[in-house]
Amino acid sequence: MILFDKFELENGLKVIFHKDKTTPIVAVNILYNVGAKDEAPDKTGFAHLFEHLMFGGSKHIPVYDEPLERVGGENNAFTTNDITNYYLTLPKQNIETAFWLESDRMNELAFSLKSLEVQRKVVINEFKQSYLNQPYGDVWLLLRPLAYKVHPYQWNTIGKDISHIKDAKIKDVKSFFKQFYCPNNAIMVVGGNIELDDVKNLSEKWFGNIKKGDFVHPTLTPEPLQTEHRTLTVKRKVPFDAIYKVYHMCGRSEPNFHATNLITDVLSNGNSSRLFVRLVKEKKLFSSIDAYHFEHLEKGLLCISGKLVKGVQMNEAENAIQEEIEKMKNETVGENELEKVKNKIEAENAFSEINILHKAMNLAYSELLGDAALINQENEKYRNVKAEDIKRISNKILKDSNCSTLYYLSKK
């Protein structure tokens, strides 16, 4: 049970405070409700590039990291298709530095040309390192646009193409900031061994005079219903063939989400999971296989992917996956198996409560979903999932007409 207090400043900044007496560290997590899906289709990669620029100095503070390091703090950030999340931890006696830093860069960035030039290069390096220079690295650059024809989830956070990052101009970056980086589009969580009054006072002192932004979240065109199986075959310089199958699924806040998550757990969470036992151990068709999903706010993707054992034919491998899918659709998950996946979730949740930063992040995300209190309702929601729900949703989404398949073949 994670207890917390919540309040909102006049400018719309939501602040959540979780008291934790057991740690000398304070965690501060600021979630901005902007991600790759909010980008223009010809200017992709901006939310992520922007995340880098947030460290290039704000109006009154030339460098972000240095003052934080000076107080024994550490920080990082990440961007997804939905959000940009900044987080830091520091000794509690220096908590005010966190408020000073975060409020100044929420207020106004320095926008130096040098910063843009350097971070452009850094991001291009990241693009190359993560997506182009790794075996199987470009899978999602291929698969997203296959699954999404209309919705902005069709491009990755790194961007559709390196050229978008190369061509990014300072004025585009400034208008992106103005549109999305405002207090009424942010959720701040503070966790640690301090008092609510401290947090209220510091929030008002540092964030109080930041102006509310007057933007409206763009309404995104929903992805039209997919009506037939889509496939793409590519040949790459990789040692083994691989297959990736993605299926459209519900959004994070929809009632079917928890059951959908359990589908992936039944399929591949652990060494007693179905795909591992049957396709890796018994049939020896795959050297590795996984079922997972992208927990998108809007309708996401459930994925099944694996690397084929050398010499195995693609159609045999795919048929084996299909066989497991049919079992999910035609048979009801047994009581023991259902209990197992629920117990795993319970253990995972318990372990996530050890660390103050994890708690802060989860509180921020829960608030984004509508209410920070959701964080304490997860176990119950999973416990309430019935075997029939899993079967029903399997039938709904695990069908060819809802599927895009990438055949990633080894160029011999």
Partner 1 sequence: MLDRKKQPVVKEIDSIDFILPEKSKLDNGIQVFSIPADDQEVSVIKFAFSAGSWYQPIPLVAWFTSKMLREGTKELTSLQIAELIEFYGADLELLCQPDNSDITLYSLNKHLEKLFPVVEDMVKHPAFPEKELSVLLQNNKQNLIIQREKVKYVARETFNKLMFGTTHPYSNYINIEDYENITPAVLSTFHKSFYTADNCKIIVAGKTDKTLFCLLNKHFGQNDWKAEKIIVPHPEQFKMSDVLKHRIEKTDAVQSAIRIGKPMFNPTHPDYIGFKVLNTIFGGYFGSRLMQNIREDKGYTYGIGSNVETYLHAAYFYIATEVGVNDREKTLDEIYLEINRLKTETVPEDELQLVKNYKMGSLLRSMDGPFAMAEQYCFMLEYGLDENYFDRCVDVIKNISADEITRLAQKYLDADSMIEVIVG
Q: Which of 219, 221, 227, 271 is in the footprint of partner 1 by CB under 8 A?
A: 271
Q: Which of 19, 327, 344, 358 is in the footprint of partner 1 by CB under 8 A?
A: 344
Considering only 118-126, 215-223, 326-334, 393-401, which stretch makes contact with partner 1 by CB under 8 A?
A: 118-126
Closest CA to 65 of 49, 54, 50: 54
Is the Cβ of residue 303 or residue 345 nearer to partner 1 in the bound state? Answer: 345
User: In whole angstroms, what is the distance from residue 351 CA to residue 225 CA?
Assistant: 38
> Per CB under 8 A, does 272 bind partner 1?
yes
> Per CB under 8 A, does 71 bind partner 1?
yes
Burial-class residue 126 by CB neighbours within 10 Å (0-12, 13-18, 19+).
middle
Considering only 8-16, 78-86, 280-288, 378-386, which stretch makes contact with partner 1 by CB under 8 A?
A: 280-288
Q: Which of 231, 350, 386, 395 is in the footprint of partner 1 by CB under 8 A?
A: 350
Is the Cβ of residue 142 or residue 369 nearer to partner 1 in the bound state? Answer: 142
Q: What is the 3-state secondary structure (H, E, C) of 259-318?
A: HHHHHHHHHHCCCCCHHHHHHHHHCCCEEEEEEEEECCCCCCEEEEEEEECCCCCHHHHH
> Mapping DSSP to helix (H, G, I), strand (E, B) and coil, where does residue 123 land?
helix
Q: Which of 169, 205, 235, 386 is in the footprint of partner 1 by CB under 8 A?
A: 205
Is the Cβ of residue 147 or residue 194 nearer to partner 1 in the bound state? Answer: 194
Is the Cβ of residue 25 or residue 267 nearer to partner 1 in the bound state? Answer: 25
Is residue 54 within 8 A of residue 4, CB to CB? The reply is no
Distance of CA 10 to the CA centre of its chain: 29
> Per CB under 8 A, does 378 bind partner 1?
no
> Per CB under 8 A, does 281 bind partner 1?
yes
> Per CB under 8 A, does 235 bind partner 1?
no
> Per CB under 8 A, does 379 bind partner 1?
no
Is the Cβ of residue 317 or residue 368 nearer to partner 1 in the bound state? Answer: 317
> Per CB under 8 A, does 317 bind partner 1?
no
Number of residues that bind partner 1 (CB under 8 A): 81
Is residue 150 within 8 A of residue 324, CB to CB? The reply is no
Q: Which of 229, 239, 254, 313 is in the footprint of partner 1 by CB under 8 A?
A: 239
Q: What's the closest the beta carbon of residue 297 comes to partner 1, in angstroms?
A: 27
Contacts of residue 330, defined as CB under 8 A and 6 or more positions apart, other chains included, come to none
> Per CB under 8 A, does 305 bind partner 1?
no
Q: Which of 10, 40, 41, 72 is in the footprint of partner 1 by CB under 8 A?
A: 72
Beta bridge partner(s), residue 212: none
Residue 173: CA atoms inside 13 Å, Cβ hemisphere, count?
Answer: 27
> Per CB under 8 A, does 240 bind partner 1?
yes
> Per CB under 8 A, does 234 bind partner 1?
no
Footprint (CB under 8 A) of partner 1, residues 86-115: 89-91, 93-94, 96-97, 99-100, 103-104, 107
The arrangement of strands across the sheet holding 286-294 comes to: 230-236, 403-410, 242-248, 301-308, 286-294
User: In whole angstroms, what is the distance from residue 188 CA to residue 16 CA?
Assistant: 6
User: In whole angstroms, what is the distance from residue 390 CA to residue 332 CA?
Assistant: 8
> Per CB under 8 A, does 12 bind partner 1?
no
Is residue 173 within 8 A of residue 43, CB to CB? The reply is no
